[in-house]
Amino acid sequence: MNTPGELPENVVAEIRAGRKIEAIKLLREQCSMDLRDAKDAVDAYIAGLPASPGDRLPRNDMGTGRLVFAALVVVAVYMAYRIFA
């Protein structure tokens, strides 16, 4: 690890392969971390990962929420137009 937030390449490879537990084990062994710190580091890395179609990691975004909000805005604009036109 070159910087404090950087994970070793083999740990990153395990994360990208969807093997989170193995990644935590490797990180604990290589960096002499306790379980909680290693899990937090792996979780933080996963949270910062951009999702791509080939990843097996779950995508964590608010796409559905944005869609619902946009639909509500459209309905509100339509209703305002019908009332005030």
* HEC per residue, 17-78: CCCHHHHHHHHHHHHCCCHHHHHHHHHHHHHHCCCCCCCCCCCCCCHHHHHHHHHHHHHHHH
| pLDDT-derived band at 1, boundaries 50, 70, 90 | very low
pLDDT at 79 over 50: yes
Q: pLDDT tens for residues 25-35?
A: 999 999 999 99
pLDDT at 7 over 70: yes
- Cβ neighbours of residue 53 closer than 8 Å, sequence gap 6 or more: none
Q: pLDDT tens for residues 11-49?
A: 999 999 999 999 999 999 999 999 999 999 999 999 887
